[in-house]
């Protein structure tokens, strides 16, 4: 099971959080991450963020990243949207 935690932060307070789950073994990890971001965006009525180089590098190193105003075309009313991979598919399943 692949699980990713999405959070929205404003003024150092967690205002929204949800866990995205995907058990589809036919999808690769990248697709699951993008589907998770799309799920959170739809759930919280956000535009999908743009992956900047800093987001890509951060995600590659730590399996987490924060999307700030720089990643959105429209004005956002929160400080950041954060995603964290909390569970990966087991290779032996």
Q: Give the model confidence (pLDDT) of 31-56 as tens digits.
A: 999 999 999 999 999 999 999 999 99
Query: Per-residue pLDDT for 68 more than 60?
Result: yes
Cα distances from 24 to residues 6, 29, 58, 73, in angstroms, run 19, 10, 25, 31
Beta bridge partners of 9: 14, 80
Regarding pTM above 0.95, the answer is: no
| 6 contacts 20 by C-beta, under 8 angstroms | yes
């Amino acid at each position: 099971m692949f699980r990713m935690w999405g959070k929205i932060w404003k003024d150092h307070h967690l205002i929204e959080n949800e866990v995205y789950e995907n058990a589809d073994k036919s999808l690769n990890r990248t697709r699951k991450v993008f589907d998770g971001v799309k799920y959170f965006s739809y759930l919280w009525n956000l535009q999908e963020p743009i992956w900047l180089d800093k987001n890509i590098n951060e995600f590659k190193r730590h399996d987490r990243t924060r999307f700030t105003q720089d990643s959105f075309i429209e004005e956002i009313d929160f400080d950041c949207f954060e995603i964290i991979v909390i569970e990966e598919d087991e290779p032996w399943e």
